[in-house]
Amino acid sequence: MSASSSQALDYLELLPRQTHTKLYEQPSTVLAIFRCMLPHIAKTIVMGMLYMPTPFAAVDLEAWFRPDGKKEREKALAVLEQLHIVASQQDDKRQLSYTLYKGFARSLRQALEGSGTHRSFGVPSSIPDPNRVTIPFLEEYARSQWENILFFMVGSTVGLANANQLGNAVGEGTKALLKAGDFIRISNGRVSITRAGFTFVLQETNAQVWSLLIVYLKHAPQLGMSETDVLSFLFMLGSLELGQDYTTSTLSPTQLQMLEDLSAFGIVYRSSKDARTFYPTRLAVTLTSDTGALSTSDPLKSSPVGSSRPNANKGFIIVETNYRLYAYTSSLLQIAVLSLFTKLTTRFPNLVSGKLTKESTTRAVKLGISSTQIVAYLTAHAHPQMQKTQPFLPPTVTDQIRLWEYEGERVETTTGFLMKEFNSETEYRDVLSYAESLGVLQWKNDSKRLFFVDRVEQISLYLQKKKSRV
């Protein structure tokens, strides 16, 4: 499971059961969730249960795991229950057993067997398109649309002269969405980027696409669109093939409306607004894949969102131990991103140079970029020459960036819930170890029987279940 799909998973987990049930009617959705949202152990459990005629006793499931795998097992089951894929029940003898939800099981079987007449994997257009477009064209289209959005966010903040002009290329709908997602703030017609926006820009493309789409999903009801429709369409897009044109005739009105917005993001391409076909771009087909937007050995496919995502061997940044930074790039987007945390001094046709200073770093920290993000960005884009040493960046520089951040930011905060007033040591230990296995535990104090978690939903479910069992 990649970082980008875990974001989508977080979102999915919070949906109510009815939404899940509706979503699971589409085999393409079920397959996408199964393939890239579930942790590996959860996949194995689902696969094992898929063709079981009877409920699966919890004792038998436990037999699959080594005793030291308890943590992983509970985590996997918690995800499955949260997504309403697996239901647990007790029979008369108080034996716990698990079953797959019927809708999910049926759709997953259909997806795997290719049975049923659901058409949820998209229908290729039967009429040959006179204006057929090529894969390189689609790559270029996706890249320029997406870079425009990023540059719109970053460029206007750092005050590049032609940022406004580029901003015009970004549609009003997209701007509104960026604002709704709190990625940018617009005051007096001037756009400035927010903390969330920085995190967004520094993410990898696939994660960016998901972040934006999740904002889109959250606002779908306000636009009169059904959330399930939107989600199943996104999952369907993930299963389409690049370079193939698909017919719009099988889409629902909501999905037709979405096509327009998605083509503004560069996720799909349509030759005109009333074209009867659409093409998914690289951004769409990698939505539900682990490989991310830069994948495969095919040279054509290896440059997805080109200059903003050069892959590891195409790095362009050199950092010296004296904090000087040289970046071999002419891309305005990259220069804009660099200037968020670097004091850039000179620009040549293919090179910008500058220095990482205390001032530039603290400025970035104030805007909400963390030192980890800066270091990660520099590492990810390190020049091949830099990659010969391990670690890529000079340790003095990375340490100094961290120290600079620490000077400005003396407290570390986490929002969540403090759990207290446990009746007994056993109860405390039990709930604590459950929280630990979910990975939500942030802090604990054994002597006071207190602990702090960043998410409480599953813990409260667990406590309720415990209560009903006693």
Partner 1 sequence: MVKATRGTLVKCDASIKAMLLDIDSKNGNDFIIEDLDEEHILVKETKIAQLKQRLQSMMKERLKEPESSESEA
| Residue 459 binds partner 1 (CB under 8 A) | yes
| Residue 414 binds partner 1 (CB under 8 A) | yes
| Residue 129 binds partner 1 (CB under 8 A) | no
| Residue 347 binds partner 1 (CB under 8 A) | no
End-to-end Cα separation, the chain, in angstroms = 36
| Residue 242 binds partner 1 (CB under 8 A) | no
| Residue 260 binds partner 1 (CB under 8 A) | no
CB-based contacts of 129, cutoff 8 Å, min separation 6: 245, 271, 277
- Give the residue among 46, 303, 265, 52 at the shortest CA–CA distance from 148: 265
Angle between helices 205-219 and 172-180 (to 10 degrees): 90
Footprint of partner 1 on 191-210 (CB under 8 A): none
Measured from the CB atom, the residue of 153 and 356 that comes closer to partner 1 is: 356
Measured from the CB atom, the residue of 106 and 358 that comes closer to partner 1 is: 358
Instruction: Kindly indicate which of the ranges 187-195, 199-207, 333-341, 411-419 contains the residues binding partner 1, using the contact rule CB under 8 A.
Output: 411-419
Q: How far is the CB of 363 from partner 1 (least distance, A)?
A: 13
Are 116 and 61 a contacting pair, CB within 8 Å? no
DSSP string, 259-274: HHHHHHHTSEE-SSTT
| Interface pick for partner 1 out of 50, 57, 169, 463 (rule CB under 8 A) | 463
Measured from the CB atom, the residue of 63 and 411 that comes closer to partner 1 is: 411
| Residue 420 binds partner 1 (CB under 8 A) | yes
AA letter at 383: H
Q: How far is the CB of 273 from partner 1 (least distance, A)?
A: 44
Q: How far is the CB of 415 from partner 1 (least distance, A)?
A: 5
- Give the residue among 324, 404, 320, 423 at the shortest CA–CA distance from 358: 404
For residue 209, the SS3 value is: helix
| Residue 416 binds partner 1 (CB under 8 A) | yes
Instruction: Kindly indicate which of the ranges 142-150, 226-234, 355-363, 375-383 contains the residues binding partner 1, using the contact rule CB under 8 A.
Output: 355-363
Whose tokens are 């040591």? That residue is: 425
| Residue 326 binds partner 1 (CB under 8 A) | no
Measured from the CB atom, the residue of 93 and 448 that comes closer to partner 1 is: 448
Characterize 274-286 residue by residue with b for buried, 16 or more Cβ atoms within 10 angstroms of its Cβ, and e for exposed: ebebbbbbbbbbb
| Residue 344 binds partner 1 (CB under 8 A) | no
Q: How far is the CB of 69 from partner 1 (least distance, A)?
A: 27
Q: Where on the phi/psi map is residue 116: left (φ > 0), alpha (ψ -120 to 50), or beta?
A: left
Measured from the CB atom, the residue of 311 and 357 that comes closer to partner 1 is: 357
Residue 355 corresponds to which tokens in the numbers above? 């220095």
| Interface pick for partner 1 out of 359, 399, 425, 446 (rule CB under 8 A) | 359
Instruction: Kindly indicate which of the ranges 108-116, 129-137, 357-365, 384-392 contains the residues binding partner 1, using the contact rule CB under 8 A.
Output: 357-365
Query: Which phi and psi (to 5°) does residue 31 adopt?
Result: -65, -40
Are 98 and 88 a contacting pair, CB within 8 Å? yes
Footprint of partner 1 on 421-450 (CB under 8 A): 421-423, 427, 431, 442-443, 445, 448, 450
Are 339 and 322 a contacting pair, CB within 8 Å? no
Angle between helices 172-180 and 253-265 (to 10 degrees): 90
Q: How far is the CB of 313 from partner 1 (least distance, A)?
A: 32
Checking 189-192 for CB contacts under 8 A at 24+ apart, the result is 190/156, 191/152, 191/153, 191/156, 191/157, 191/167, 192/156, 192/157
Q: How far is the CB of 438 from partner 1 (least distance, A)?
A: 14
Measured from the CB atom, the residue of 188 and 413 that comes closer to partner 1 is: 413
| Interface pick for partner 1 out of 117, 272, 415, 468 (rule CB under 8 A) | 415
| Interface pick for partner 1 out of 117, 126, 390, 413 (rule CB under 8 A) | 413
Rounded Cα distance between 316 and 248, Å, is 41
| Residue 345 binds partner 1 (CB under 8 A) | yes
Footprint of partner 1 on 58-77 (CB under 8 A): none
Rounded Cα distance between 224 and 221, Å, is 5
Instruction: Kindly list the residues in this chain that would bind partner 1 in the complex (CB under 8 A).
Output: 345, 355, 357-359, 410-423, 427, 431, 442-443, 445, 448, 450, 452, 456, 459-460, 463
